[in-house]
Chain A
Amino acid sequence: MFSVAYWREKVFRGFYWPLFYTAVMISLVGIMAIFSASHELPGDYAMKQLAWLGISVLALFAVVRIGYRTLLGYSYAFYVISIVLLLAVIAMGDMRLGAQRWIELGPFVLQPSEFAKIAVILTLAQYLGERARNRYQTKRFLIAFFLVAFPMVFILKQPDLGTTLIFIPILFCVLFLWGVRLRYLIVTSLCALASFPVFWVLLKGYQKRRLLVFLNPDVDPLGAGYTAIQSKIAVGAGQFFGKGFLQGTQNRLRFLPEHHTDFIFCVIAEEWGFVGGCLILMLFALLFVRMIRVIERTSDTRARLITAGVVSMIFFQVVINIGMTMGLMPITGLPLPFVSYGGSSLVTMFIAVGLLISIYKDRSIF
Chain B
Amino acid sequence: MREFGFRLGIFRFFVFGALFCLGLALFDIQVRCGGEYRDLANRNRIRLLRLEAPRGDIYDRNGAVLATSRPSFDVFVIPEDFDKKNAGFLSEVLGLAKEKILAKVTRLKDAPFVPVLLKRDVKKNIVFKLEERKPELEGVSVEIRPIRFYPQGTCAAHVLGYLGKISKREYENQPEEDLYRFDDWIGRSGVEKIFERVLKGEDGGKQIEVNSRGRMIRILGEKDPEAGSDIFLTIDSKLQEKVARIFGERTGSAVILDLETGDILALVSKPDFDPNVFVSPREASERAKVFKNPSSPLLNRGISTGYPPGSVFKLVTAISALETGTVPPAKRFYCKGSFRLSPRSRAFQCWRAEGHGAVNLFEAIEQSCNVYFYNLGSRAGPDSLSRYAHELGLGEPVEIELPNVSPGVIPSREWKKKIYHDSWYEGETLNFAIGQGYVLTTPLQILRLVGFLATEGNLPEIHIEKTGKKSGKMKKPAIRPGNIRLLIKAMNRVIQTDRGTGQLARVDFMEMAGKTGTAQSPPKEPHSWFAGFFPYQNPKYALVVLIEHGGSGGFYAAKLSKEIILGMKELGTFDPVPGTGGANV
Assess whether A219 is in contact with B8, with CB atoms less than 8 Å apart.
Answer: no
Assess whether B12 is in contact with A269, with CB atoms less than 8 Å apart.
Answer: no
Task: Name the interface residues of A204-250: CB closer than 8 Å to any CB of B.
Answer: 204-206, 217-223, 225-226, 229-230, 232-240, 249-250
Chain A binder among B26-34, B406-414, B466-474, B508-516: B26-34
With A222-B207, A236-B30, A239-B38 given, is the CB distance from A284 to B19 under 8 Å? yes
User: Which residue on B lies nearest to A173, using beta carbons?
Assistant: B11
In the assembled complex, which residues on chain B have CB atoms less than 8 Å from the CB atom of A221? 48, 205-207, 220-223
User: Which residue on A lies nearest to B181, using beta carbons?
Assistant: A222
Task: Name the interface residues of B99-138: CB closer than 8 Å to any CB of A.
Answer: 109-113
Instruction: Tell me the smallest distance from the CB of B48 to a CB of chain A, in Å.
Output: 6
Assess whether A319 is in contact with B22, with CB atoms less than 8 Å apart.
Answer: yes
Chain B binder among A105-113, A193-201, A272-280: A272-280
Most chain A CB within a 10 A radius of its CB, from B12, B41, B110: B41
A222 CA to B205 CA, complexed, in Å: 6
> Which listed residue (A222, A237, A328) contacts B37, Cβ 8 A?
A237
With A40-B109, A177-B7 given, is the CB distance from A235 to B37 under 8 Å? yes
Chain B binder among A1-9, A49-57, A68-76, A288-296: A288-296
Q: Does A15 touch B at the CB level, under 8 Å?
A: no
Assess whether B48 is in contact with A274, with CB atoms less than 8 Å apart.
Answer: no
Q: Does B345 touch A at the CB level, under 8 Å?
A: no
Assess whether A292 is in contact with B8, with CB atoms less than 8 Å apart.
Answer: yes
With A220-B223, A223-B178, A281-B23 given, is the CB distance from A296 to B29 under 8 Å? no
With A217-B221, A250-B44 given, is the CB distance from A281 to B22 under 8 Å? yes
Assess whether B221 is in contact with A236, with CB atoms less than 8 Å apart.
Answer: no
Assess whether B22 is in contact with A323, with CB atoms less than 8 Å apart.
Answer: yes
What 0/1 pattern do residues 558 to 570 of B give for CB contact below 8 A with A?
Answer: 0000000000000
Assess whether A255 is in contact with B207, with CB atoms less than 8 Å apart.
Answer: no
With A98-B176, A176-B7, A288-B15 given, is the CB distance from A236 to B33 under 8 Å? yes
User: Which residue on B lies nearest to A98, using beta carbons?
Assistant: B177
In the assembled complex, which residues on chain B have CB atoms less than 8 Å from the CB atom of A220? 221, 223
Q: Does B164 touch A at the CB level, under 8 Å?
A: no
Assess whether B22 is in contact with A322, with CB atoms less than 8 Å apart.
Answer: yes
Q: How large is the interface on B (under 10, 10 to 19, 20 to 34, 35 or more residues)?
A: 35 or more
> Which listed residue (B22, B34, B173, B174) contacts A239, Cβ 8 A?
B34
Assess whether B7 is in contact with A254, with CB atoms less than 8 Å apart.
Answer: no
User: Which residue on A lies nearest to B114, using beta carbons?
Assistant: A254
Instruction: Tell me the smallest distance from the CB of B65 to a CB of chain A, in Å.
Output: 31
Task: Name the interface residues of B28-86: CB closer than 8 Å to any CB of A.
Answer: 29-31, 33-38, 40-42, 44, 46, 48, 50
Summed over the interface, the residue pairs from A and B with CB atoms below 8 Å come to a total of 163
With A229-B220, A274-B26, A326-B26 given, is the CB distance from A206 to B41 under 8 Å? no
A98 CA to B26 CA, complexed, in Å: 31
Q: Does A285 touch B at the CB level, under 8 Å?
A: yes
Assess whether A319 is in contact with B18, with CB atoms less than 8 Å apart.
Answer: yes
What 0/1 pattern do residues 259 to 294 of B give for CB contact below 8 A with A?
Answer: 000000000000000000000000000000000000
In the assembled complex, which residues on chain B have CB atoms less than 8 Å from the CB atom of A253? 44, 111-113
Q: Does B25 touch A at the CB level, under 8 Å?
A: yes
Q: Does B425 touch A at the CB level, under 8 Å?
A: no
Assess whether B223 is in contact with A219, with CB atoms less than 8 Å apart.
Answer: yes
Q: Does A311 touch B at the CB level, under 8 Å?
A: yes
With A236-B38, A255-B111 given, is the CB distance from A222 to B29 under 8 Å? no
Q: Does B16 touch A at the CB level, under 8 Å?
A: yes
Assess whether A277 is in contact with B30, with CB atoms less than 8 Å apart.
Answer: yes
A230 CA to B40 CA, complexed, in Å: 10
Instruction: Tell me the smallest distance from the CB of B315 to a CB of chain A, in Å.
Output: 45
A255 CA to B134 CA, complexed, in Å: 28
Q: Does B249 touch A at the CB level, under 8 Å?
A: no
With A40-B109, A217-B221, A281-B22 given, is the CB distance from A177 to B30 under 8 Å? no
In the assembled complex, which residues on chain B have CB atoms less than 8 Å from the CB atom of A238? 30, 34
User: Which residue on B lies nearest to A99, using beta carbons?
Assistant: B177
Q: Does B420 touch A at the CB level, under 8 Å?
A: no
With A177-B8, A274-B30, A277-B26 given, is the CB distance from A225 to B221 under 8 Å? yes
With A221-B222, A277-B26 given, is the CB distance from A249 to B31 under 8 Å? no
A311 CA to B11 CA, complexed, in Å: 10
A204 CA to B44 CA, complexed, in Å: 32
A235 CA to B127 CA, complexed, in Å: 42
With A219-B223, A315-B15 given, is the CB distance from A232 to B29 under 8 Å? yes
Q: Does A308 touch B at the CB level, under 8 Å?
A: yes
Assess whether B48 is in contact with A226, with CB atoms less than 8 Å apart.
Answer: yes
Q: Does A179 touch B at the CB level, under 8 Å?
A: yes
Q: Does A91 touch B at the CB level, under 8 Å?
A: no
Assess whether A179 is in contact with B7, with CB atoms less than 8 Å apart.
Answer: yes
User: Which residue on B lies nearest to A180, using beta carbons?
Assistant: B7
With A221-B222, A254-B110 given, is the CB distance from A288 to B11 under 8 Å? no
In the assembled complex, which residues on chain B have CB atoms less than 8 Å from the CB atom of A95? 172-173
In the assembled complex, which residues on chain B have CB atoms less than 8 Å from the CB atom of A219? 223
Assess whether B30 is in contact with A240, with CB atoms less than 8 Å apart.
Answer: yes
In the assembled complex, which residues on chain A have CB atoms less than 8 Å from the CB atom of B18? 315, 319
Assess whether B221 is in contact with A292, with CB atoms less than 8 Å apart.
Answer: no
Assess whether A177 is in contact with B26, with CB atoms less than 8 Å apart.
Answer: no
In the assembled complex, which residues on chain A have CB atoms less than 8 Å from the CB atom of B30? 235-236, 238-240, 269, 273-274, 277
Instruction: Tell me the smallest distance from the CB of B33 to a CB of chain A, in Å.
Output: 6
Instruction: Tell me the smallest distance from the CB of B57 to a CB of chain A, in Å.
Output: 25
Assess whether A176 is in contact with B4, with CB atoms less than 8 Å apart.
Answer: no
Q: Does B3 touch A at the CB level, under 8 Å?
A: yes
Most chain B CB within a 10 A radius of its CB, from A221, A238, A253: A221
Assess whether A222 is in contact with B22, with CB atoms less than 8 Å apart.
Answer: no
In the assembled complex, which residues on chain A have CB atoms less than 8 Å from the CB atom of B113? 253
Task: Name the interface residues of A255-306: CB closer than 8 Å to any CB of B.
Answer: 255, 269-270, 273-274, 277-278, 281, 284-285, 288, 292, 295-296, 304
Please name 16 pairs of A and B residues whose Cβ atoms are closer than 8 Å in the assembled complex, sorted by A.
Answer: A96-B172, A98-B174, A176-B7, A177-B8, A206-B178, A217-B221, A219-B223, A233-B37, A233-B41, A236-B30, A253-B44, A254-B111, A281-B22, A296-B8, A308-B11, A315-B18
Interface residues of A (CB under 8 A from B): 40, 95-98, 173, 176-177, 179, 204-206, 217-223, 225-226, 229-230, 232-240, 249-250, 253-255, 269-270, 273-274, 277-278, 281, 284-285, 288, 292, 295-296, 304, 308, 311, 315, 318-319, 322-323, 326, 328
Other A-B contacts than A319-B19, A322-B22, 7 sampled, CB-CB below 8 A, are A96-B172, A226-B207, A233-B41, A239-B35, A274-B27, A285-B19, A323-B22
